[in-house]
Amino acid sequence: MLTFVDHGTLKGLKPSGAVETLGSLAGSADGAVVSPDGQHWMTATLTSDASGVTSQLVLGTRGGADRVVARLTAQDRHLTPFRWTAGGPIYQHAVMGVGGYILFGDGASGPTYRLDAGSGQVSTVLGTSDASDCRLADLAADGTIACVRSMPSLSLAVLSPGGHVVEMPLPRPAFNQYGAVSFLPGSGQRLVIGGATSAGPNQEQYVTYLFDAGSRQLRPFGPAGLRPVAGPSSWLPDGSLLTYRPEGAAGGSPGIYVVRPDGSARKVLASGTPLGVIAG
Please give the pLDDT value at position 80.
94
All structural domains of the chain with their residue ranges: 2-269
In 3D, which of 211, 240, 205 has the Cα closest to residue 224? 205
Please give the pLDDT value at position 16.
86
Query: Does residue 131 have a pLDDT over 70?
Result: no
Please give the pLDDT value at position 125.
96
The answer to whether 29 and 22 have CB atoms below 8 angstroms apart is no
Burial of 75 (0-12, 13-18, 19+ CB in 10 A): exposed
Please give the pLDDT value at position 3.
83
- pLDDT band, residue 30 (cuts 50/70/90): low
pLDDT in tens, 165-177: 999 999 999 999 9
Please give the pLDDT value at position 199.
95
Pick 114 or 280 by higher pLDDT.
Answer: 114
Residue type at 118?
Answer: G
Please state, in angstroms and rounded to a whole number, the distance separating the CA atoms of residues 215 and 85: 24
Which CATH fold topology does 2-269 show? Methylamine Dehydrogenase; Chain H (2.130.10)
In 3D, which of 204, 207, 229 has the Cα closest to residue 218? 207
